[in-house]
Amino acid sequence: MSEFEDLTWNKLLQEFGKSLENAIEHLENRDIENIPGAKDALIQRLNDMKLIFPKNNGDIFIKSINDNIQNAFFPNTKTFSEAFEKILKSRTHEQDFIINELLNGFVSSKAKAIASGTQGPIIDRMVEAFSKRNDFHIVDHQFFAMFGDPNKPRHYVRKQLEELINMFGLISEELVVEKDVRTSEQKTYTFYTFPDDIIKLLEEKYLIIDQELGYAYVSDAFDRNVFICMFLANIAINRDDMEKIGGAYTINGISAIFALIILLSFLPKISVDETNPILNDPNYDEANMSIIPKSWMMKQVLESLFEPLIKIIAYRLGGGLWLSKIIGSEVNRKIMNQIRFLIKDVNKWILGQLVRVEIPIFISIGNILTEVLVGYKED
């Protein structure tokens, strides 16, 4: 069915329009801003969005999600290496912060997901284990020797390791030693490494292959985010397979993360009086930061904006299957609430003002809206 006949899409756009109205109503009733004009700028922006977003069949959403979000974080492909390459190439220092903070604070709060509680250090451990060898492999025995606790059964560490191996899409090879020197018994060592096509991609920056010495060792750039990129690539290519990606929770989590990125990108910059103390704060850098209104973080405003926005993202990323998993349950509402407190390093508080660090993804999504707005005003 073409976009023009898609009834679900139209319904989602309408719902978002209504949510904007609700948010504007809440904003008009309360003022928590202390910068003159901040609240008005936010209301103006929401009004603009209400007017412009439904136009051309929700073209702004389609462009922002298809061209920016998907390209940078969630490529629409079935090939693992292609997805991984796109995510890896869009990495910037600040973008890493977003992904790390979001996944740590959000997707991770569920046991099955990445980086939760005890699994967090395990990703760091994988980085360390790969760094310690010069053949770009890790071995289960070595992993246990480095991180295992002699007082706990070995299968604990091995089980956690295997879980991560599956989550990231690493491959394993077995080496059978017929007679172990110490026990004189047969012993099997399991080596884990990256698939060949991924290794080729890593060679550019993350992996140094020394042909003369026959070594393959990781560079300083090899970090936990390489694994997180693999995690995202794995979910992106298996988006139609609910079991493989961890079910409704992952879908809600990923959609909410991207909804937050979209929302942050569309927020207006606030100009402040030259006497405002924030301009003298050493942590504020006018060149790559901007003050944004904080009223959008009010529970009532965010809750009304977020649910339809999450649905829009879910629909664009995974069609009807993903949309059907976004349920307005109590748990999901709590998750939406949690989103308010994420991404502290790219979206920080300075002297009570919310500051957005202008990273490429925010700028490129923000530009889509600005261009349309300028065109609309000219017309």
User: What is the phi/psi pair of residue 99, to 5°?
Assistant: -60, -45
**CB contact set of 212 (below 8 Å; sequence gap of 6+):** none
Contacts of 10 (CB under 8 A, 6+ apart): 57
Specify whether the CB–CB gap between 264 and 126 falls below 8 A: no
* Residue 207 near residue 219 (C-beta atoms within 8 A): yes
Rg of the chain over all Cα atoms, to the nearest angstrom? 23
**360-365: Cβ within 8 A, 24+ apart:** 360/90, 360/92, 360/95, 361/68, 361/69, 361/72, 361/90, 361/95, 361/98, 361/261, 361/265, 362/261, 362/264, 362/265, 363/265, 364/68, 365/64, 365/68, 365/69, 365/261, 365/262, 365/265, 365/266
In the complex, the smallest distance separating the C-beta of residue 32 from other proteins, rounded to whole angstroms, is 5
Query: What distances in angstroms separate CA 141 from CA 34, 146, 181, 301, one per listed residue?
Result: 58, 9, 15, 52
Distance separating alpha carbons of residues 190 and 200, to the nearest angstrom: 22
Length of the chain: 379
By beta-carbon proximity to other proteins, the closer residue of 12 and 254 is 254
CB neighbours of residue 132 within 10 Å? 13
Residues near 359 by Cβ (< 8 Å), separated by ≥ 6?
A: 92, 94, 95, 98, 346
> CB–CB of 295/32 below 8 Å?
yes
In the complex with other proteins, which residue's Cβ is closer, 200 or 334?
334
The CA angle 80-229-117, to the nearest 5 degrees, is 125
Indicate the SS3 state at residue 379: coil
Cα–Cα distance measured from residue 307 to residue 259, given in angstroms and rounded to the nearest whole number:
9
- Per the listing, tokens 């904007």 go with 20
Residue 135 phi/psi, 5° resolution? -125, 10
Residues of the shown chain interacting with other proteins in the complex, contacts defined by CB under 8 A: 30, 32, 34, 104-105, 109-110, 117-118, 120-121, 124-125, 127-128, 131-132, 146-147, 149-151, 210, 212-213, 277, 281-283, 294, 297-298, 331, 334-335, 337-338, 340-341, 344, 348-354
Nearer to other proteins, 76 or 142 (CB): 142
**In the complex, least distance from residue 124 CB atom to other proteins, rounded to whole angstroms:** 5
Q: Are 335 and 252 in contact (CB under 8 A)?
A: yes
Q: Which is nearer to other proteins, 79 or 283 (CB)?
A: 283
Nearer to other proteins, 40 or 303 (CB): 303
Of the pair 51, 146, the CB lying nearest other proteins is at: 146
